[in-house]
Structure 1
Amino acid sequence: MSAPAAPVAAPGPLTTIWAPTLFVFLWASGYIAAKYTLGYAQPFTVILLRFGIVVGVMAPIVVLGRAPWPRSWREAGHVAVVGVLLQAVYLGGIYAGLERGVPAGVMALIMALQPIITATLVGPLLGERVTLRQWFGLLLGLGGVGLVLANKIHFDFDGWMGLIFSFIAVSGITAATLYQKRFCGETDWRTGTIIQYLAAAAVTAPITFAEGIGTVSWTPTFLLALGWIVVVLSVGTYNLFLWLIHRNAAAKLTSLLYLVPPMTALAGYFAFGETLGPLSLLGMALAALGVYAVVKK
């Protein structure tokens, strides 16, 4: 008679509370840091600088820590695909859309579609079940995000090409989430980071040089914002995101992104004096309730 299967340990507070809370806070801080880089360098120049510095930071960590590399070219290729989707397609699509006139509020609303798209795809692609309560939470969260962004959304622009880039961006992060969960569970995060950023740099470098590097104003503000983007976001938050993918259902994890626009709006209120009216506060509450409905056991 075969031995009974060992019970699966329930997720602890680190996976269910502390790590997701830290992720939302840090992911939201990326929008504030990116805003601080505006005017000091062209967007794609900032992206390429980010990729290069991350590789330079991670290289000695990999060497000194003797981090293992992927066991095969196939595994390395899967890791590179995630890097291109999340760093080149997602980030590049956002910057390209904003450059072509898409308002920041419209861009944020399009990005908020990602949890809905992910929940639609996780069943056929990953075999994950999304319950009726979770669907209700996803729709409630999307409505909350819409209220938070209500006074920042307008469609009086001609940049339809920018909208195309915006939907390319949301497709990139959705595909990266599903691909990472399906194919990249065993790679060491240190060597994986180098592979992903090198792959993303190889894709974005031709675009950056074609548009022109431009001038970079190396002011203290720009250096501080770039340092935050590189160390805290590109190394810390990015790998926290990948870590959470493997320890949570994809629909549950991506629902956390509903909390990013409210957190960003709150940070913008303190950092830039942006308005935060009753409608935004109501939207924050609805977004939080929506996420709670999705992640609640």
Structure 2
Amino acid sequence: MSLDRLAPAIFVLLWSTGWVVAKYAAIHSEPFTFLAIRFALSALAFLALCLVLRVQWPGRAVMWKAIYSGLFLHGFYLGGLWWAIANGVPAGISGIIAALQPLLTAMAAPLLIGERLQPVQKAGLALGFVGIAIAISPKL
């Protein structure tokens, strides 16, 4: 099986374990320190992989887009999430709030960038919303 087929499963596994890691890391470390170390190690691993595979580096414009996207997506988003967990928000609740991100993005896209959703995308978001509603219903 190729890495292309395994990559989505690996991504979901790593992404979904983030809240468990955040909960236990908050006990032993300040969240921004932990994330800085985590991001630095990830960057080194990514750089090593790129060097081994001899990938072509993107141009300056693409590189800057990746940097500011990373700052917003991982710096602000994960930083805020980990800070909240470290300050007492349950990991499960923060996970549910984070699960709303695709829905909020889809609602904002037509207003901000004029992007319209296809029917299958709307169905997927509706299904995701139902899943979130089921997950939070015991807390209501």
| The two structures share one fold, judged by TM-score above 0.5 | yes
- What is the CA-CA distance between 1:74 and the residue it aligns to? 2.0
Q: 1:106–1:32: structure 2 CA closer, same or farther, 3 Å change rule? A: closer
Contact 1:109–1:146 (CA under 8 A) maintained in structure 2: no
Residue aligning to 2:36: 48
The answer as to 2:79 corresponding to 1:88 is: no
Of residues 78, 97, 120 in structure 1, which corresponds to 2:65?
Answer: 78
Give the Cα–Cα distance (whole angstroms) in 2 for the partners of residues 147 and 109 of structure 1. Answer: 11
Shift of 1:94: 0.3
- Assess, with a 3 A threshold, how the Cα gap between structure 1 residues 25 and 58 changes in structure 2: closer, same or farther: closer
Cα distance in 2 for partners of 1:40, 1:111 equals: 23
Instruction: Note the alpha carbon deviations across 1:207-238, whole angstroms, 9 max, x for none.
Output: xxxxxxxxxxxxxxxxxxxxxxxxxxxxxxxx
Change (3 A) 1:123 1:19: farther
Query: Counterpart of 1:67 in structure 2: which amino acid?
Result: V
Q: Does 1:144 align with 2:125?
A: no
Separation in structure 1 between the aligned mates of residue 82 and residue 54 of structure 2, nearest angstrom? 35
**So what's the TM-score if we normalise by structure 1?**
0.39
Letter of the structure 2 residue corresponding to residue 143 of structure 1: V
SS in 2 for 1:39: helix
| Aligned mates of 1:33, 1:95 — CA distance in 2 | 10
Q: Deviations over 1:89-141 (max 9, x none)?
A: 1110101222344333432232122121222244462644332x643542342
Identify if the C-alpha distance between structure 1 residues 88 and 97 changes in structure 2 by more than 3 Å, giving closer, same or farther: same
Report what 1:179 is aligned to: none
Deviations 1:255-293 (A, max 9, x none): xxxxxxxxxxxxxxxxxxxxxxxxxxxxxxxxxxxxxxx
Cα RMSD for the two superposed structures: 3.1
Q: Return the TM-score normalized by structure 2.
A: 0.72
SS state of the match for residue 26, structure 1?
helix
Of 71, 78, 93 in structure 2, the residue corresponding to residue 106 of structure 1 is 93
Aligned to 1:102, the other structure's residue is in SS state: coil
- 1:80 shift after superposition: 0.7
1:16-51 alpha-carbon deviations (Å, 9 max, x no partner): x86545533332122233334342222211101112
Instruction: Say which structure, 1 or 2, has more relative contact order (CA 8 Å, 6+ apart).
Output: 1
Alignment check: 8 A CA contact 2:102 2:125 kept: yes
Question: Rg bigger for which structure?
Answer: 1
Q: How many residues align structurally? A: 137
Runs of 5+ consecutive residues of structure 1 not aligned to the other structure: 1-13, 155-297
Distance 1:146-1:108 versus aligned 2 partners, 3 A rule: farther
8 Å Cα contact 2:85/2:91 also seen in 1: yes
Distance 1:57 1:126 in 2: 37
What residue ranges of structure 2 are gaps of 5+ in the alignment?
A: none
Q: Is the helix fraction higher in 1 or 2? A: 2
- Render the CA deviation track for 1:178-232: whole Å, top value 9, x for unaligned: xxxxxxxxxxxxxxxxxxxxxxxxxxxxxxxxxxxxxxxxxxxxxxxxxxxxxxx
Instruction: Indicate conservation of the 8 Å contact 2:110/2:116, yes or no.
Output: yes
- After superposition, the Cα gap between the structure-2 partners of 1:94 and 1:69, relative to the gap in structure 1 and judged at 3 Å, is same
**Residues 1:59 and 2:71 are matched in the alignment:** no
Q: Report how far residue 65 of structure 1 moved.
A: 3.7
Q: Percent identity?
A: 31
Residue 147 (structure 1) shift:
2.3
